[in-house]
Structure 1
Amino acid sequence: MQLSLEHVGKTVGPTAHLYPLSLNLAPREVTVLLGATQAGKTSLMRVMAGLDTATIGRVLADGVDVTRVPVRQRNVAMVYQQFVNYPSMTVAQNIASPMRLRGERGVDQRVRELAARLHIEPFLDRLPAELSGGQQQRVALARALRKQAPLMLFDEPLVNLDYKLREELREELTHLFATSDSTVVYATTEPGEALLLGGHTAVMDAGELLQYGPTAEVFHAPRSIRVARAFSDPPMNLMAAEAVAGGVRVAGGEVWPLALPADAPARLTLGLRAGGLRVVQRPGDVAVPGRVELAEIAGSDTFVHVHTAVGELVAQLTGVHDCPLGDPITLYLRPDQLFVFDAEGPLVQAPARAGRAG
C-alpha cells in the first residue's frame, strides 16, 4: 500500500495531538515512528488506521481518500502495547483466524511455523488466559502477521516483554518484515530498535514531525538538535561553543581544531553521542578532564556521567568499568566526530561517514 498523509493534524478540544504534517510512506517497507512518550506516535497511527479521524488534512491509500473511512472498512492490522486476543479461541485458532476467513489451505502448518519463530509453539492448544502477558502479546503479533494486510501498524509491541526475548523478537520481526509485501509502520521510543529495523524513520516530538527519511541518513545527519537528542540513547551530549580561527572555542577557553563551513554562525552547539567519548587517548583526540558524578552498568556497557568544564557529559564505555563517584577522570574525543549545530538548533555540519566524502 502507498499511504500518504497530506497536511494531517489532530486536535481534541483545545489540545493539539498532532500538528499538521505531510508524509509519504515507502510502500512495502518499514517506517519507524521514533519519539519519546507523548510524541504523537499513537495519535498518528490511529489516524492512519481509521480509528480516529484527522481534524484537518487527508489520508490517501493508493491514491484514494480514506480520511473518513472507518477502520472496519479498511484492510489494516494493528498491534498495540497491550495485547488483544480472542479469549474463547486457542492460540492456534487465534493465529489461524485471518487465514481461515480467506479460505486458505495449509493453515495448520503455517501456524506452527510462525508460532515457532515467535517462540509460542508449545502453547498452541492453550487459551490466551492460560498464558503470560508476554506470551499473549506474541499471539497478537502472530495473528497480525498472518493477516497479511497491506498496511500493518505496530505500536511499541515489544515494550512489555523481558529484555532477552525483546532482543530475539526484534531480529525475528526484522526478517519477517523484510519478506512481507505489506507496508509496515512501527512505533518505538528506542533509537536502537529503529536502527535494527532499518527502512525509513520519522522522528516525532510533542506532536510534530521533525524529520523523515532513510533511517541511516536521519541517524547520521539529524537536521536539528531536537532530532539528534531523540535519535540518541542516552541523549546526545551538547556543548556550547563559538566559531574562531582554526576551530571552535569551548567553555573554559580551549580551542578544538575543527574545519567549519565558511558561513558557519558564530554561536554554536556541539553534539557528540555517548559512544564517541573514550577513556583511552587515540591520535587526534582532545582531552576533557572532569569528575565522576555517576556510573551505571547496563548489560555489557558502563555509562559514566562526568562533570566537566564544557558541560555535563555521558560516556558509553564498552565493558564493566570501576569509576568511583567523585574520582577525577579524563575523557577523550575526536573533534571531527562532533556534530555542529547553530546555537538556535539547525544542523550546520555532521561528521563525515566512513567511506563517504564530505
Structure 2
Amino acid sequence: MTIELRNATKVVRGITHIKPTSLVLETGHFNVLLGQTGAGKTSLIKLMAGLDPLASGRILMAGQDVSKLSTQKRNISLVHQFFVNYPHMTVFENIASPLRVAGMAKSEISDRVQEAADILQLGPMLKRRPQELSGGQQQRCALARAIAKESQAVFLDEPLANLDYKLREELREQLPELFAGRGAVVVYATSEPEEALLLGGRTALMHDGAVTQFGATTDIYRNPENLTAARVFSDPPINAAEITKTGTQAHLRTGVTWTLTGAAAALTDGQYTVAIRPHHVTPVAASASDVALNGIVQVTELSGSDSSAHFQMGSDGWVSLAHGVHPYQVGEDHRFYMDASKAFFFAPDGSLAA
C-alpha cells in the first residue's frame, strides 16, 4: 500500500496553499510531516484525505487514482489534535461508528471494538461518554476508532498537541507499536523536531506550502540539503550567521576567526552562512579545537537537566543548549564554545555547500 502525490497543488481564492508536491508514502514506518505552524501540514493532509479539492496534480492510493473520490470512498482515518468524539455516544459507540456506517456485522463490530479498546486500555470505559473521560482517554478513543476501522491510510494531525507532557510521552512511545503490522500508510504531522526523531521512519520537511526535503528521518536531520531544511529540523532554532571564507580561514562579522577543515576548507573563497545546532554551542569547551564566542546573555531557561541561553553576538542572536545547570546572568558578557566540526556551510542561495 502506498499513497503517491504527483505534482499535487492546493489553491484557495487565488492563494497557493500547497505548491507542486510529489511524494510516495509507504507502509511499515511512520511518514512524518514536520514544519512550523502554517507550513502546510494540515493542508496536505486534507488533500490526501479528500477533504479539500486538488487544484492540479493527482493522488493515488495503492495505484488507484483517488483524486476525485470523496473522503468516504478513500478508506482513511483522520485523528485531529482536538478530541473529536461524538458526545452523545458511549466510548463503544464512538469506536464502532465507522464500522456501522460501513454496514459491518454486529459480531465483527464487537470484536474489532474490543480489540482496539484493549490495545488502548479503554476496556473498562466502553460504557462511558466522552465527557466522563480525561483528555488523554478521549484521544485514545479517537485513536481506537482509527485502529478498529482498519483503514488503508491513517492521518494523525498533531494528535498529541493538546495533551499534558506525561500523556504525550506515553502515547508518543506507544504510537509506532499501535500501528505496526496493520498495513496502513500512517502519516503524522508535527511541529516538533524531537517528536519526528522519536517516531523515526521517514520525514517530509515542510515550509511555506512546499516539501523542502524528504527521506529517512535521521538522515535528513544529519544531512539537511539547504538552510531552510536545517532551520525546520532544529529546536531550539539553529544558529546561523554570515561568514567570509579566505583560504582556510572563516571570519564572522564580530571578528571571530577559526581554521576550516575537511570539505569546508576546500570551498571557494567568498560569502557563506555557517549554521550550527544549539547543543554544539556550550559554555564549557569540549576540546582545544572549539571556537570561543562571546555574547551578551538575553534570556536563560532551565528545562529538566538542560540549560539554554539566548545570547547576542554582534547583530546575530545565538542559542546555547547544554546539559547541566549553568549560572547564567541576563545582561552579562558570557563566553561560549562552538564545536566547528559540527557546523554546516550554506551558499548564498541557501543550498548546502559543505
- Name 1:171's counterpart in structure 2: 173
Deviations 1:207-226 (A, max 9, x none): 11111111111111111111
Q: CA deviation at 1:145?
A: 2.1
Q: One-letter code of the match for 1:212?
A: F
Give the aligned residue type for 2:170.
Answer: E
CA offset at residue 155 of structure 1? 0.5
Q: Which amino acid aligns with 1:142?
A: A
Q: How big is the shift at 1:64?
A: 1.4
Q: Say which of 273, 276, 281 aligns to 2:277.
A: 273
Aligned residue number for residue 352 of structure 1: none
- Of 328, 346, 349 in structure 2, the residue corresponding to residue 344 of structure 1 is 349
Question: How do 1:19-168 and structure 2 match up within 5 A?
Answer: 19-97=19-97, 102-103=104-105, 104=108, 106-107=111-112, 109-116=114-121, 120-168=122-170
Aligned residue pairs, count: 346
Read off the aligned partner of 2:293 and give its amino acid letter. Answer: V
| 1:231 aligned partner, one-letter code | F
How far 1:240 moved relative to its partner? 0.9
Aligned to 1:222: 224
Deviations for 1:65-120, whole angstroms, at most 9, x for unmatched residues?
1100011111101111222223332213323455675443744652442232xxx4
Amino acid at match of 1:110: E
For 2:127 and 2:63, locate their aligned partners in 1 and report how far apart those are by CA, in whole Å. 42
- State the partner residue of 1:313: 318
Greater mean deviation of Cα atoms: 186-195 or 287-296: 287-296
1:14 aligns with 2:14: yes
Instruction: Identify if the C-alpha distance between structure 1 residues 16 and 107 changes in structure 2 by more than 3 Å, giving closer, same or farther.
Output: closer
Q: Which residue of structure 1 lines up, in the alignment, with residue 286 of structure 2? A: 282
Q: Displacement of 1:309 after TM fit?
A: 4.1
State the partner residue of 1:353.
none
**Aligned-pair distance for 1:134?**
3.7
Cα distance change on mapping 1:264 and 1:220 into 2, 3 Å: farther
Q: Which moved more, 1:284-293 or 1:252-261?
A: 252-261
Structure 1 pair 82–109 and aligned structure 2 pair: CA distance change class (3 A):
closer
Task: Give the TM-score of the pair, scaled to structure 1.
Answer: 0.91
CA contact (8 A) 1:90 1:128 kept: yes
Q: Distance in 2 between matches of 1:39 and 1:339?
A: 23
CA contact (8 A) 1:303 1:315 kept: yes
- What is the aligned partner in structure 2 of residue 331 from structure 1? 336
CA shift digits 1:10-64 (9 cap, x unpaired): 1011211111111111233311011111111111111101111100001111221
Task: Tell me what 1:208 maps to.
Answer: 210
CA contact (8 A) 2:117 2:144 kept: no
- In structure 2, the CA distance between the partners of 1:88 and 1:227, relative to structure 1 (3 Å rule), is same
Per-residue deviation, residues 244-303 of structure 1 (Å, max 9, x unmatched): 212311223332122226454611000011111111112221111222111012233221
**Counterpart in 2 of 1:254?**
256
Q: Note closer, same or farther for the CA distance 1:300–1:95 as it changes in structure 2 (3 Å cut).
A: farther
Q: For each residue in 1:105-139, what CA deviation from the matched residue of structure 2 results, as whole angstroms up to 9, or x when unmatched?
A: 744652442232xxx45533211122244432221
* 2:309 aligned residue: 304
Q: 1:298 to 1:342 in 2, by over 3 A?
A: same
Q: Secondary structure at the match of 1:347?
A: coil
- Distance in 1 (CA, whole Å) between partners of 2:332 and 2:124 is 52
Question: Distance in 1 between the 2:269 and 2:68 partners?
Answer: 46
CA change 1:265–1:35 in 2 (3 A) is: farther
SS in 2 for 1:195: helix
How big is the alpha-carbon RMSD for the aligned residues of Structure 1 and Structure 2?
2.0
User: Which amino acid counterpart does residue 328 of structure 1 have in structure 2?
Assistant: D
Identity over aligned pairs, percent: 42
- Aligned equivalents of 1:265 and 1:257: distance in 2? 13
Note closer, same or farther for the CA distance 1:122–1:301 as it changes in structure 2 (3 Å cut): farther
Question: What do residues 145-179 of structure 1 show as CA deviations (whole Å, max 9, x unaligned)?
Answer: 22221110010111000111111110111222334
| 1:226 match: secondary structure | helix
Amino acid corresponding to residue 255 of structure 1 in structure 2: T
Counterpart amino acid of 2:343?
L
Structure 1 Cα separation of the partners of residues 61 and 113 of structure 2 = 32
- The answer (yes or no) to whether the contact 2:113–2:148 under 8 Å persists in 1 is no
| SS of equivalent to 1:348 | coil
